[in-house]
Amino acid sequence: MGRFLKSSDNSNTDKGTTDSLRDNISPILILTSIFFINFTSRISPAPLAPRIEADLNLSHADAGALFFFISLGYFITLIGSGFISARINHMRTIAVSNTTLGFALIGTAFFDGPGAMRLGLFMVGMAAGLYLPSAIATLTALIPSHHWGKAIAIHELAPNLSFIAAPLICEAVLVWFSWRVVFLLMGILSLIMSPIFVRYSRGGDFRGEAPGLGSIGQLVGNLSFWVMVLLFSLGVISTLGIYTMLPLYLVSEHGIDRNLANTLIALSRIPSVIMAFVGGWATDRIGPQRTLKIVFIIAGLMTCLLGIAPSWAIPYLVFLQPLIAVCFFPAGFAAMSLIVSPKLRNVAVSLIVPLAFVAGGGLAPVFIGFIGDERSFALGIMICGGLIAIGSFFTGLLKFHEQS
């Protein structure tokens, strides 16, 4: 125990579904709570990175690679999640994901050494990866399409609150304990949520579509599918990719104390919670395509400025950059649901999201860390900002499936 001391149309609908968003708020909030634990577990290594880097004697690139292993595990199970939900339905898939995540986190807390840590985080990513396709399929089955923007915005409270809570939780734990205790606590919370979900949740009592050759062929032959892969990759870079390396950037290149850096990052994400609803409102008001174009232009510019600004301006940009970036996801998931038929939605999510998270949440941190070792973190962040801005030109290529 010493290691823990400090050093639209919907063919798959559930029975009882109503046209009111308010009538379905309870199952949405339960899903949001599970997503909060799921997401917080995967981003906690970011505020812990300076301590993990020192304890395990890692380079900046090695620290960034920890997120690659999370993303790699996430990729594998996201790809295969359709096979699971096709056999045991979406509700049971969510329960299995949450339970195995709890055990994976607890196991990771006891692992020693860089190799064991990579293995543990890989397992965390695999357990977490089953959740999202079934959650989106459940959500869009419960909620009529004209409320999708708002419903997804509520669900997206989870990652936005995670961006706030993760640094604060980590700093609170580090006052008395090792960084390993963070994984232990998140694992226990995950195990507690599983019986609550099974007992009180509603929705998801239908099977998904396994990604067979026919369904995969329909997606691979759809240009909009590949455009969404690119857009989601850039959206993940603008949020998770930048976030994961931001503590190291602030500590290493701007000389900010770790505690202050994590507190600043946590506070900067508070306005983003409101902006997620703005993104949902804009999606319902002007459509996902126009919303995405605006988000990529402004988020790309803010990310570039985060890399080139002098130290006195960095705190302001830490607040400004995520304000627009978080608006991507309500519009992104709505657009993803519209480029395919309802039957293929969970398959589309299970293919698009893992590819995007490997690129944006795995390879991007490794790239930023590598540039940080060779040149500077700032250059890596600037390059990412330029790529995000370029994404606005690809939104016009999206073609939505005809809705009845």
Task: Tell me which amino acid residue 192 is.
Answer: I
pLDDT at 188: 92
Whether the per-residue pLDDT at 371 is higher than 70: the answer is: yes
Residue 179 lies in a domain: yes
Say what the pLDDT of residue 45 is: 84
Q: What is the CA radius of gyration of the chain?
A: 20
Q: Is residue 241 part of a domain?
A: yes
CATH of the domain at 81: 1.20.1250.20
C-beta separation of 255 from 372 below 8 A = no
Q: Which ranges in 11-111 belong to alpha helices (H)?
A: 25-43, 45-55, 60-109
Q: Are 65 and 366 in contact (CB under 8 A)?
A: yes
More confident residue, 186 or 347: 186
Q: Give pLDDT, residue 348.
A: 78
Residue 297 has pLDDT above 90, yes or no: yes
272 or 41, higher pLDDT: 41
- pLDDT tens track for 58-74: 777 777 778 788 888 88
Residue 11: predicted pLDDT: 45
**Position 204 in a domain:** yes
Calculate the dihedral angle through the C-alpha atoms of 159, 165, 171, 175, rounding to the nearest 10 degrees: -130
Q: How many CB atoms lie within 10 A of CB 8?
A: 16
Provide the token pair at 323.
Answer: 């304000």
Stretch 34-55: mean pLDDT: 85
d(Cα 177, Cα 10) in Å, to the nearest integer? 49
* Range in 165-174, 194-203, 293-302 the model is least confident about: 194-203
Write the pLDDT tens digit of every residue in 136-163: 877 777 776 666 667 777 887 888 788 8
6 inside domain: no
Query: Which of 105, 357, 161 shows the shortest CA–CA distance to 241?
Result: 357
191 pLDDT tier (thresholds 50, 70, 90): very high
Q: Domain count of the chain?
A: 1
Taking all residues of the chain, what is their mean pLDDT, rounded to a whole number? 80
> Tell me: the pLDDT tens digits for 204-230?
556 666 666 676 777 777 788 898 899
- Domain assignment present for residue 4? The answer is no
Global pTM reads 0.70
Q: What is the pLDDT, as a whole number, of residue 223?
A: 83
Does 10 fall in a domain?
no
79-131 pLDDT, tens digit each: 777 777 777 877 788 888 889 999 999 988 888 777 888 888 899 988 988 88
The two structure tokens encoding residue 338: 């519209």
Q: Which domain holds residue 288?
A: 20-397
Q: Has residue 15 been placed in a domain?
A: no
